[in-house]
A and B are shown apart, each in its own frame.
Chain A
Amino acid sequence: MDYFEVFGLPRQLGIDTLALEKAFHDLSRKHHPDYFTRASPSEKTQAVRMTALLNDAYRTLRHPVRRVEYLLSLYGFKPDSSKVPQALLMEVFEINEQLEEVKAGKASVEEADSLRAQIKEKRERFDSQLQQASLEWDELVKRGEPEARLKEQLGRLTEILSESSYIRNLERELE
């Protein structure tokens, strides 16, 4: 059972997170090991496995980036940060240098704030690209487009994730 199936969802990227949470709670009430203390050992094991799967699925699907990564993995696609354009690498390199200064305490408060804002802006640009490409994916699936077109879109999603992984790492380091 894949994570989408756990929730009875189609393999689409637009997910109503409130509805997802509700489904998560309902399914937890059904499968949680707490309700199987007096069951047979095999039923107990089943409850733990099922709940682990449910929790893994919820953790993955509620998060917009992890959700895309997971979808890609289902089709054998894997973001690869080594395949990004040279220009972007240069940009990241520069930001990284500034980041080192901030971390070493050499930068002023203003400089640090400006760096933070810069990274945030870039990340948000990727976020909106990802959102757009996700919407397109859902459209293609709904229209029942041929496999070649779907593959192309998966490639596009992979590319966005590969490129944005740098910025995400930088942002994490700043925290």
Chain B
Amino acid sequence: MPKIVGIDLGTTNSLVAIVEDGTPRVLPGRDGSTLVPSVIYFDEGGTTVVGNPAKEKMVEKPKNTVFSIKRFMGKGIEDVREDLPLLPFEVAPESEHIIRLKIFGRDYTPPELSAFILRELKHNAEATLEEEIKSAVITVPAYFNDAQRQATKDAGRIAGLDVLRIVNEPTAASLAYGLDKRKQGTIAVYDFGGGTFDISILKLSEGIFEVLSTSGDTHLGGDDIDEILIRLVLGELKQRPDIHQLQAIRRAVNKAKEELSSANRADITVQELQYRRSMTREEFNKLIDPIIERTLRPCRQALQDASLKPTDIDEVVMVGGSTRIPLVRQRVQELFGRVPHTELNPDEVVALGAAVQADILAGSKRDMLLLDVTPLSLGIETMGGVMSKIIPRNSTIPASATEMFTTFVDGQTNVKIHVLQGERELIKDCRSLAQFDLKDIPPMPAGLPRIEVKFLIDADGILSVAAQEQRTNKYQSIEVKPTYGLTDEQVEHMILESFEYAEADIEARLVIEARNEAETVLNATAKGIADEQYANISEEEKAEIGAAIARLREVMRTNDHQVIRQAIERLGNATMHLAELIMNAAISKALKDKRVREIQ
């Protein structure tokens, strides 16, 4: 049976995991690390690198090194206006409803950029498992809205993955945490990562993981703490930094922030600006207190929605890198009146849970079942710009609602439906999801058609709509215009383009591998020439070695891996005799040594 992997597509770090023999484990990347930084570096030649090597380029190549792209998923330019001044990216003008970053003159949407990360994870899994991976479960913040979930699914498709399920991150974490199915009781999962904050309250009983309520903020995480510190440094600088220096500041404050989780004092050092300042934990705590307070409000909301008091919570599970901050732990402990669990690796637990959910979907685990909820109320626009709720937040998904629509004018054949998500009264304070056009309604006097529209939120938390005219029993055609998302055709187009990437990527990798091998061969040859045996080969042989070296040096910097390979082979042939002589000499020396020792 083909394997299904679990993927944690994080703002800062991404991971891929799989369950084997009942145990989930994270699969390592090319450099052996299990965390793949969610950073993509584009080089001039059009090739991309993802992960640690890309992260190293953030200061040197700020414009073409993309990070924290998850914060842009499902967003228009207005949503992120405040962040832009601190980011080194060039935003394309056509970014009203989908942000597009311009990199070397080409526009990339967040799903396309995320797809680079997913492709890397897919590759890592394939390299470790030695088989092709086609399907995945991908996690998203519980508080992600419809557009953000859809964007994540699109990213999966562009990366060539069949996304079998979108799972909420805190819920996934609870799966990994409660793998031992004897665990019972009410738990709260507090997930504070790089870009987002989630709180979910679950009831565990006999293998059923039932989410009672969830709340959060999809724009609140370690990045925001970094931003506070960046602004602090900017205020203390005499000159305005360029984008290289800006990124150097980001790196420096991030380092200091992480140090302050274990030390009482840390230095913020930006060599590029000859800037240095020290910060105490106390000072840091004061700066980030408002951020932590912003995480506690959703916690209280989630408790209220579940009709629970803090003391009703049996266990609190901490997830996400930002829960390493001592003040975060302290505040959470104060709120719930109990010491939170921190023994799980907060970086890996979401990916492990995603793998567990993948295992359930693969059919091997029927004793566990996840019952999740939709984080936001779903509604439709009614007269006067008021939002009428049809599926309340925290409804278990899949969930559905049926509404009747009719016409206002005689012979009207079209009805518009505007769908939104949010908790506020007025549509202007809610998030627009999509406009649906009910078309081809049989012409009738006004008010006579009865069009039944069924809204369905599926197990991924994504909406679909179906309509039927009751009098004629005819299914209505519906045209969907997502407000903040890609249309199906756009995604298809990106999938096609991604094949070109995949090819370009393979090509680039072959070139890099060939170059690396060329270097190894050249080094070995240099050693051979220095060996005393070099004196024992003919002048023609020496001339050929010299020529082969020159040829390899000449072609090594080209982008044609086949030419490089040919040159490597030529040098290999030229040095064959020399290598033999060296080998023989080594053997006879070893034998001689052995004999000497035997005699002794």
Contacts and interface: CB of A to CB of B under 8 A. Distances in A.
A52 B363 contact: no
A52 B464 CA distance: 13
Contacts of B401: 56
Interface stretch (B260-268, B365-373, B403-411): B365-373
Given A35-B363, A35-B366, A37-B363, A55 B459 contact: no
B304 interface: yes
Contacts of A56: 395, 399-401
Contacts of A38: 363
Contacts of A58: 396
Nearest to B4: A37
Contacts of A153: none
Contact of B398 (A35, A37, A51): A51
B369 A34 contact: yes
Interface in A16-33: 25, 28-29, 32-33
Contact of B459 (A25, A29, A34, A59): A34
A34 B399 contact: no
Given A33-B459, A34-B459, A52 B371 contact: no
Nearest to A66: B392
A48 interface: yes
A112 interface: no
A34 B175 CA distance: 14
B398 A28 contact: no
Given A33-B459, A37-B361, A55-B395, A28 B369 contact: yes
A52 B369 contact: no
B399 A28 contact: no
B398 A175 contact: no
A59 B400 CA distance: 11
Contacts of B366: 29, 35
A175 B458 CA distance: 30
Given A28-B208, A175-B304, A55 B396 contact: yes
A55 B208 contact: no
Interface string A36-60: 0110000000001101110110110
Interface residues of A, number: 19
B208 A53 contact: no
A53 B397 CA distance: 10
Contacts of B398: 33, 48-49, 51-52, 55
Nearest to B398: A52
A56 B401 CA distance: 8
A52 B400 contact: yes
Give the interface size class of chain B. Answer: 20 to 34
A52 B402 CA distance: 12
Nearest to B396: A55
B456 interface: yes
A167 to B, nearest CB: 18
A116 B164 CA distance: 48
A49 B401 CA distance: 11
A92 B296 CA distance: 34
A53 B400 contact: yes
Nearest to A48: B398
Contacts of A48: 398, 456, 458-459
Given A28-B371, A37-B164, A59 B361 contact: no
Interface in B197-253: 205-206, 208, 210
Contacts of A53: 400
Contacts of B206: 25
A51 B206 CA distance: 19
Interface in B328-384: 357, 360-363, 366, 369-371
A25 B456 CA distance: 21
A13 to B, nearest CB: 20
A52 B370 contact: no
B363 A55 contact: no
A49 B361 CA distance: 18
Contacts of A29: 208, 366, 369
29 contacts: A25-B206, A25-B208, A25-B210, A28-B208, A29-B208, A29-B366, A32-B371, A33-B398, A33-B458, A34-B165, A34-B357, A34-B361, A34-B369, A34-B459, A37-B164, A37-B362, A37-B363, A48-B456, A48-B459, A49-B456, A51-B459, A52-B456, A53-B400, A55-B395, A55-B399, A56-B395, A56-B400, A58-B396, A59-B399
Interface of A: 25, 28-29, 32-35, 37-38, 48-49, 51-53, 55-56, 58-59, 175
Given A34-B165, A52-B457, 6 more contacts: A29-B366, A34-B361, A37-B363, A49-B398, A52-B400, A59-B396
